[in-house]
Amino acid sequence: MEILELIKKPWPWYVAGPLIGLTVPILLLLGNKSFGISSSLKHICAAVIPANISFFKYDWKKESWNLFFVAGITIGGFLANFFLANPNAIVISESTQNTLSAFGITDFSGLMPMDIFSTVNIFSAKGFIFFVLGGFLVGFGTRYAGGCTSGHAIMGLSNLQWPSLVATISFMIGGFACTHLLLPFLLKLAQ
């Protein structure tokens, strides 16, 4: 029972960080594999889209381990959400709560604010902005950067790849700019 309680609690950065970091050498040592999530979408498209597109013409079966990895993440996320949920409230600073409350976000009970990410908002202007436009921008940015944040920041930096350093710095600058400049504008627009 103690192990289950340990799993339910958030782990400190000094435990979770090294565990994530150990993924890189384990993947490299066990099979010369690179960590990344966004490439799985390419593999899925190559497997199920019978189009004559050169981008999807490769032996995706050699990368099928990545699809199992992503399936494991999905199943793990499902199990964690429904069976191992942390009963404690999400800790958000008071200043962040006040700032978000000014934009109409008042539900801080989960990892994602239900004021934005609820099924009610899918067909609204707010839903279009955050789901459709946001999803397109994330997908475009991932393809343009040649990988996702986890691939560049975890795998690329550990391999001392200069493009991954540039991509990670760009992700951070973009995240700060969106949080402080774009998000307040979008939340006011969507009210």
pTM of the full structure: 0.68
User: Which pLDDT value is given to residue 13?
Assistant: 86
User: Which pLDDT value is given to residue 1?
Assistant: 57
User: Which pLDDT value is given to residue 117?
Assistant: 75
Q: Which of 159, 146, 172, 154 is CA-nearest to residue 38?
A: 146
User: Which pLDDT value is given to residue 112?
Assistant: 75
User: Which pLDDT value is given to residue 14?
Assistant: 92
Residue 17 to residue 123: CA distance in whole angstroms: 37
pLDDT lower than 70: segments of the chain: 1, 190-191
Residue 188 to residue 104: CA distance in whole angstroms: 9
SS3 label, residue 114: coil
User: Which pLDDT value is given to residue 191?
Assistant: 62
- CB 34, CB 168: distance < 8 Å: no
Residue 66 to residue 79: CA distance in whole angstroms: 20
- CB 66, CB 40: distance < 8 Å: yes
User: Which pLDDT value is given to residue 190?
Assistant: 63
Supply the DSSP symbol for 122. T
